[in-house]
């Protein structure tokens, strides 16, 4: 048996879904799309658009990891945006 990670949220503290906004001034839309494809096997993602952002309604397959998956997704999308020379 292993010790629980004290920094991990308790299952009851984990959000069912999180809403993320990727502002168009900071993120390339194609990078957000690609990041969702890369992480698709780890969660459920619903993409929509607002005038100023790409919006992602998401949750991890393991609810206690939803916040962490959201952070990893955002970091990956930002990295891809930087690799591509910034947002269009």
Residue 6 lies in a domain: no
Instruction: Answer whether residue 84 shows pLDDT above 70.
Output: yes
On whether the CB atoms of residues 88 and 80 are closer than 8 A, the answer is no
| Closest C-alpha among 31, 32, 27, 19 to residue 59 | 19
Which CATH number characterizes residue 49's domain? 3.30.310.50
Q: Per the domain annotation, does 2 fall within a domain?
A: no
Q: Is the pTM of this model over 0.85?
A: no
User: Is 9 part of a structural domain of the chain?
Assistant: no
Q: Is residue 1 part of a domain?
A: no
> Domain residues for 65?
15-83
Contact of 70 with 43, CB cutoff 8 Å: no
Model confidence pLDDT, tens digit, residues 41-77: 999 999 999 999 999 999 999 999 999 999 999 999 9
């Amino acid at each position: 048996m292993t010790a629980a990670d004290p920094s991990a949220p308790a299952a009851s503290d984990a959000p069912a879904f999180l809403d993320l906004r990727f502002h168009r001034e900071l993120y390339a839309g194609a990078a957000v799309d690609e990041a969702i494809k890369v992480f698709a096997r780890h969660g459920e993602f619903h993409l929509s658009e607002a005038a100023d952002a790409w919006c992602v309604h998401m949750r991890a397959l393991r609810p206690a990891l939803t916040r962490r998956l959201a952070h990893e997704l955002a970091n990956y999308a930002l990295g891809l945006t930087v690799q591509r020379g910034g947002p269009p």
